[in-house]
Amino acid sequence: MIPLVDSCTVRGWISGIFGLLVVALAGTGCQKAPDAAAEKKPVVALVMKSLANEFFSTMADGARKHQAANTATYDLVVNGIRNETDLGEQVNLVEQMIARRVDAIVIAPADSKAMVTVLKRARDAGILVVNIDNKLDAEALKQAGLNIPFVGPDNRAGARKVGEALAEKLQPGDPVAIIEGIPTAFNGQQRRLGFEDAMKAAGMKIVGTQSGYWEMEKASTVAAGILSEHTDLKALLCANDNMALGAAAAIQAAGRTGKVLIVGFDNIAAIKPMIADGRVVATADQHGDQLAVFGIEAALKILKGEAPPQDQTTAVDLITQ
């Protein structure tokens, strides 16, 4: 005879059996898989110009510190080229990041036009691109059908501030010369224009403009030639501090320290003693230690859908004695 069992007892048996089954499955690893998409951190690649330039090594340090404070938020890959003109190496770095399938590339391009082609390949691969430091050429972007946001300072306005500080120590009609960056670099063009704005407004005579290609040794050679050609030169306006250091060396070698004034741009550590003792009249601080961070933060917000891909202007401050 089969004993009668009430419904509550049956439900208890079923519950117990189900509980044992769950425990058994858990022991064999048959658990619910975690949501991989929810746990995946975005990978941001920072691609810079020459790490031999103190400005970019400072930028890299700032980015690493930001990532170290936000390890749960994103992963960071830091890349840089050997010198300011090694365009091919920077193209290769971007291609490596495309192959790696990073989520975003934050780039300070070595050339405003030439880098657009490889950056289009990155965008076609679904990688977000954020432009910092040196703005990509607007017409080249338009022809490529790209909308790449720029996060960085107004270089022309910053250079004009530096030029105006220099003009206060000169007399109208004084001969001056400009040592510009790479001629095809947008930030170099804008700084040259800013220097020209200030010198023309103050009535100075610009006797020449030559490129030092952002590098100390090249700028020193260029400065030596300008000093030899223009013995009455009163000032050299250098589009970055690396070139200002080169100009200072040339001026010292020519025995004209204190007679030819210098200005720069970037406020790197090496220029600060020269600002303090007056060998360099002024420079501009575009906060290199935070510039990449601004770009990274913009990229993370865009990836999360929290912000549209649009330009952002960052601060640039005049630095004098």
pLDDT at 148 over 80: yes
Closest CA to 272 of 238, 245, 239: 245
Q: How confident is the model at residue 34, as a pLDDT?
A: 46
Q: How confident is the model at residue 26, as a pLDDT?
A: 40
Task: For 51-116, list the strands marked E by DSSP.
Answer: 75-81, 104-107
Q: Tell whether 13 is covered by a domain.
A: no
* pLDDT, averaged across the chain: 90
Q: How confident is the model at residue 224, as a pLDDT?
A: 98
Q: How confident is the model at residue 15, as a pLDDT?
A: 46
Phi, psi of 123 (to 5 degrees): -65, -40
Q: Fill in the amino acid letter for 52.
A: A
Which residues are CB-contacts of 160 (< 8 A; sequence separation ≥ 6)? 194, 195, 197, 198
Q: Tell whether 210 is covered by a domain.
A: yes
- pTM to 2 decimal places: 0.82
For residues 75-98, average pLDDT: 94
Confidence of residue 7 (pLDDT cuts 50, 70, 90): very low
Range of the domain at 249: 155-285
Domain CATH number, residue 257: 3.40.50.2300
Q: Tell whether 266 is covered by a domain.
A: yes
Judgement on whether residues 120 and 212 belong to the same structural domain of the protein = no
Q: Tell whether 68 is covered by a domain.
A: yes
For residues 15-31, average pLDDT: 40
Judgement on whether residues 117 and 181 belong to the same structural domain of the protein = no
Phi, psi of 44 (to 5 degrees): -110, 130
For residues 216-232, average pLDDT: 97
Judgement on whether residues 159 and 254 belong to the same structural domain of the protein = yes
Dist. CA 187–CA 306, nearest whole Å:
28
Judgement on whether residues 191 and 277 belong to the same structural domain of the protein = yes
Longest dimension (CA), the chain: 123
Give 107 or 2, the one with higher predicted confidence.
Answer: 107
Judgement on whether residues 105 and 44 belong to the same structural domain of the protein = yes
CB 241 within 8 A of CB 277: no
Q: Tell whether 34 is covered by a domain.
A: no
Q: How confident is the model at residue 230, as a pLDDT?
A: 97
Q: Tell whether 215 is covered by a domain.
A: yes
CB 289 within 8 A of CB 266: no
Confidence of residue 200 (pLDDT cuts 50, 70, 90): very high
Q: How confident is the model at residue 5, as a pLDDT?
A: 43
Confidence of residue 13 (pLDDT cuts 50, 70, 90): very low
Q: Tell whether 169 is covered by a domain.
A: yes
Using the Cα atoms of residue 92, residue 93, residue 96 and residue 102 in order, give the sign of their dihedral.
negative
What share of the chain in percent tops pLDDT 90?
84
CB 111 within 8 A of CB 184: yes
Write the burial class of residue 282 (CB in 10 Å: 0-12 exposed, 13-18 middle, 19+ buried).
Answer: buried
pLDDT at 228 over 70: yes
Residues forming beta bridges with residue 218, ordered by sequence position: none
Confidence of residue 40 (pLDDT cuts 50, 70, 90): confident
Domains held by the chain: number:
2
